[in-house]
Structure 1
Amino acid sequence: MKITVSGISEGQPIPESFAFGVFSAEDHMSFGPNRNPEVSWEDAPAGTKSFAVVMFDPDVPSVADDVNQEGKTVSKDLPRADFFHWLLVDIPASVSRIPEGEDSDGVLPKGKPAGPGPIGVRGINTYTQFLAGNPDMAGTYAGYDGPCPPWNDEILHHYHFEVYALDVETLGLSGEFDGEAVREAMAGHVLAQARVTGTYTLNPDLR
């Protein structure tokens, strides 16, 4: 099975058009175009009944005390955790492409609703938790929301775009389900999977 993410090559920087946050010399970060990239896949195995698309960043600081704080840095030695940026499940077996901008086109304060979307069923991404304390932004963030790593992080962040071919038509998930729920529901149902990884940073010393 093969996945193609248009505009993103393995191990190369992700274009700013797909980012939630872009570099700003004045304010460190400003909102980006936040469009989902076009994702397509091929060579799914016989017996595939649905697909799931997952995008996550495994390089997110497990402790956020120093994140985006003036005069501080997020140490490269800090333990890291997964931050989910995109969860789409129950994509019909007849679908093999998600067009650019279909699931996200711009930063929407307070997010997008979970549940059935333009293609498949949306789970909630980790911005839901990350922005919960921000009165201007708090809400339910479902579907795609792109990279916006801490601007003072010492490490480059990696973003894994994954597609899974599944042997069930539905994972049976509803409501505001998250990335761990998707992983648990897929267990034992994956016929094939494919991944491409891009990188992104807002740290001017790493750009």
Structure 2
Amino acid sequence: MLQKTLFAGLMLAGAMASAANAQDFHLSSTSIAEGAQLAPAHVFTGFGCEGGNQSPQLSWSGAPEGTKSFAITAYDPDAPTGSGWWHWNAVNIPASVTSLEPSASGHGAMPEGAVEIANDYGAAGFGGACPPPGEVHRYIFTVHALSTERLELPDNPGNALVGFMIGANTIGTARITAVYNR
């Protein structure tokens, strides 16, 4: 009985330590803010939208112990597709990287080794917000701390596969949810 109690106590302590680590993992930005409207710089050009199509500045800190790389995603769960809309999937960002400058995506400023996956517009890299007129959509920017240095993906993977691989290797996340309407 004592062994079971000790084991349960150790499991609880481990879970609490993991939760504390997850709380320390933080995403910030000089470009976007929690609950705030995205600026025109982060709006898609096309599909009836007129924007700069620039990825936001992102900084993160407090990654969990064991982080070997990062992935960044931007996802709109409100898109009228039945499966949301992937605006950005970047993987294999080295663990030594803790920020991205504005417009890093598509301008040759992504960290060495990072791979940008085709977004749901069909182009590799960041694709800005462009909801249907009259709708407010959420844009969830997430940095994922991964337990592997590199996700092994096939050429031209779909966003569902990339999401699965990110999820299977995530040890912590930090996010900012912004909004946009037109």
- TM-score scaled to structure 2, two decimals? 0.79
User: Which has the larger share of strand?
Assistant: 1
CA deviation map 1:173-200 (0-9, x unaligned): 1421232111211233211101110000
Superposition map of 1:46-125 within 5 A: 46-62=65-81, 80-104=82-106, 118-119=110-111, 120-125=114-119
Superposition map of 1:58-207 within 5 A: 58-62=77-81, 80-104=82-106, 118-119=110-111, 120-128=114-122, 141-151=123-133, 153=134, 155-202=135-182
> Do 2:49 and 2:130's aligned partners in 1 also have CA atoms closer than 8 Å?
no
Partner of 1:205: none
- For structure 1, the 5+ residue unaligned runs are 23-27, 63-79, 106-115, 129-140, 203-207
The partner residue of 2:58 within 39, 42, 50 is 39
User: Which has the larger share of helix?
Assistant: 2
Looking at structure 1, the residues matched to 77 and 29 of structure 2 have their Cα atoms a distance apart, in angstroms, of 19
CA deviation map 1:25-73 (0-9, x unaligned): xxx94431111111111000111100000001011113xxxxxxxxxxx
RMSD: 2.1
Query: Greater RCO between the two (CA within 8 Å, min separation 6)?
Result: 1
> Do 2:43 and 2:49's aligned partners in 1 also have CA atoms closer than 8 Å?
no
Partner of 1:15: 39
**Per-residue deviation at 1:8?**
1.4
Structure 2 SS opposite 1:158: strand
C-alpha spacing 1:104/1:156, structure 2 compared with 1 (3 Å)? same
**Per-residue deviation at 1:81?**
2.9
Residue 61 of structure 1 aligns with an amino acid whose one-letter code is: P
- TM-score scaled to structure 1, two decimals? 0.70
Aligned length: 156
**Per-residue deviation at 1:21?**
4.1
Partner of 1:70: none
Q: Which structure would you say has the larger Rg?
A: 2
Identical aligned residues as a percent: 33
- For structure 2, the 5+ residue unaligned runs are 1-24
